[in-house]
Amino acid sequence: MSFSGKVAQGYVDGAKVFADLDGDGVRDSNESQDTTDSSGAYNLNADAGSWTLITSGGTFLDSQGNKVNALPMKAPAPTSSGATANVTPLTSLVAANPDLKAKLDALGGDGWNADIASSSGVPGKLLRVAQTVEQAMKTLTKGDNAVLSSDSSKLKTLDKLADAFAKQEDISSKDALTAKLAELRQELATLKVAKVTAQSASKLGKINVVRKDIAKVLTVINQARKAELQKLYRGKSVKPVDLKPRKTRALRKRLNKHEESLKSLKTIRREQRTAL
């Protein structure tokens, strides 16, 4: 059967796409392969089956127009000739855990097989899941503190992300994202620890740094959610407590030196107890 699709974070140019018929993650001579063009498009021919599409390499343009190396990704095999089989962070989750199909479909649009780089737009909840996967993987694979280097290790980590998502009812919720990142933290806690080498201390140091970086992913998520709320409640007189301005800093700036030196009764009592 023949089929086509897009490889997308942004549209990935120059990625190798192949049909992994035997499931070993490595392209064999009998497994068809294509290279994506600048629009992320590919075309393949393969026999129907329960195999997996796998991508490697390629680059896409980020929001600033910079070329960024694409993640290795995967997708379930299409079920019919002429089908559209996109390869994205969303399809990577489904290839690892098919139970996520229904949950992603419930988020709207084309669901798990959505072209997330489409100029026609993508439902926000779908995009949020895809972006969170990308941010988490970027933390683990980029910079001096990268702890995942091979495509196989990256794809295995995507499998862990899929398992964490599958445990949640609402996979676009903050709770789901928190659970997913907790799964990653646990994975990092044991990463390479069993391999005691001369560089083991350095490895563990890198893991601790990456753990902190993962916390930054949650910060980005919270900021995005707050921005959505600000847009929703713009111009309205009643707002959630989270969106109301905090006045403590402004009040603190208005205090004179004498007022700043004053202590509350609670502080005085605590100091007295400490002195005893």
Provide, for the chain, the percentages of residues in helix, strand and coil under a 3-state DSSP scheme, each rounded to the nearest 5.
45, 15, 40
Note whether residue 81 is domain-resident.
Answer: yes
Domain tally, the chain:
2
Both ends of the chain: CA-CA distance in Å?
83
Note whether residue 172 is domain-resident.
Answer: no
Confidence class for position 98, pLDDT limits 50, 70, 90: very high
Per the structure block, which two tokens stand in for 57?
């390499």
- 131-144 pLDDT, tens per residue? 888 887 877 777 65
Task: Answer with the one of 87, 110, 139 that is the final residue of a domain.
Answer: 87
Element (H, E) at 220: helix 200-232
Confidence class for position 198, pLDDT limits 50, 70, 90: very low
pLDDT above 90 (res 39): yes
Per the structure block, which two tokens stand in for 137?
């993987």
Task: Answer with the one of 18, 52, 87 that is the final residue of a domain.
Answer: 87
Question: What is the Cα–Cα distance from 260 to 251, expressed in whole angstroms?
Answer: 11
Q: Which residues pair with 2 in a beta bridge?
A: 45
Q: Name the residue range of residue 19's domain.
A: 1-87
Share of the chain above pLDDT 90, in %: 34
Predicted local distance difference test score (pLDDT) of residue 195: 44
Note whether residue 35 is domain-resident.
Answer: yes
Predicted local distance difference test score (pLDDT) of residue 161: 82
Predicted local distance difference test score (pLDDT) of residue 191: 54
**How many CA atoms lie within 13 Å of 110's alpha carbon, on the beta-carbon side?**
15
The candidate with the shortest Cα–Cα distance to 140, out of 152, 150, 148, is 148
Q: CATH number, domain at 1? A: 2.60.40
Please list, in sequence order, all residues whose beta carbon lies within 8 angstroms of the beta carbon of residue 98, skipping any fewer than 6 positions away. Answer: 76
Judge contact between 14 and 36, C-beta under 8 A: yes
